[in-house]
Amino acid sequence: MHKQNNWVALNTIWIKECTRFLRIWVQTLVPPAITMSLYFVIFGNLIGDRIGRMDGFTYMEFIVPGLIMMSVITNSYSNVSSSFFSAKFQRNVEELLVAPVPTSVIIAGYVGGGVARSMLIGIIVTLVSLFFVDVQIHNPLVIVTVVLLTSVLFSTAGLINAVFAKSFDDISVVPTFVLTPLTYLGGVFYSLSLLPEFWQIVSKANPVVYMVNGFRYGFLGVSDVGITTSLSLLVGFNILLFGVAYYLLKTGKGIRS
């Protein structure tokens, strides 16, 4: 009986989260498609021909996986951070925390909403890229695994950000000053092999490098880092952030105070 009730709670939270971003699809789904189209036109068509080939592929083919991953990271994070903070700001989340619903179910519901939005946007951006380049698929299992783990990771990170946020302005601090620099320096637009040896080592301290390269390996079969390393780090970070999120919600830190 408890398992059935937990499933109902999980399904309810997930549907609510999906309905939330689908109801305002013009604001949540259309902008990423337009933004990525501009990247494809500017970096792919206009600049790509002058750059030449990258790791044996045209520049457009090379950057497509990174641009898809960039959309996934940004939207999975922003969806959960804004949604959970809104619930906290309106005091709705307090009712959820005192309800007979396990903390893990609450986390899974919100994270599931972020994953749904990021996956949908990932599909949209991929379809947009087909207008500019023939997308190759080297290993579909790696593609699905990396994008799911990345979506879950940044959705959970968005929830943690929302717990600590004191105002709506705090929601934009991490995406602006942390996510954006890490993403642009994560090998989306270039191969790490182009960097001097010292900066290659420094770049490998950036976790986004492993996500982008793992995703690129699924499409093109090339990567600046080992695919096993990428997957291991993604699993490890997911476990760590889930533990942090679970502790925060279980103890009510940043919510009940």
Three-state DSSP class for 142? helix
- Give the span between the Cα atoms of 70 and 185, in whole angstroms: 11
- Give the span between the Cα atoms of 86 and 89, in whole angstroms: 5
Q: Which residues of 192-228 are buried (b: 16+ CB within 10 A; e: fewer)?
A: beeeeeeeeeebbebbbbbbbbbbbbbbbbbbbbebe
- Give the span between the Cα atoms of 141 and 250, in whole angstroms: 34
Single-letter amino acid, residue 120: L
All structural domains of the chain with their residue ranges: 2-47+56-251
User: What Rg value do the Cα atoms of the chain yield, rounded?
Assistant: 19
Per the CB < 8 A criterion, the answer to whether 218 and 150 are in contact is no
Task: Write the DSSP symbol of residue 176.
Answer: I
Residue 27 CB neighbour total at 10 angstroms: 9
Which residue has 């698929």 as its token pair?
Answer: 137
Q: Which of 207, 205, 206, 228 is nearest to 217 (CA)?
A: 228
Residue-level pLDDT at 2 = 67
Tens digit of pLDDT for each residue in 34-80?
A: 988 888 888 766 777 777 778 788 888 899 999 999 999 999 999 99
Q: Which of 219, 210, 71 is nearest to 143 (CA)?
A: 219
Tens digit of pLDDT for each residue in 161-197?
A: 998 888 877 888 888 888 888 888 888 888 888 888 8
Judged against a pLDDT cut of 80, whether residue 238 lies above it is answered with yes
Mean pLDDT of the chain: 88
Three-state DSSP class for 58? strand
- Give the span between the Cα atoms of 248 and 147, in whole angstroms: 26
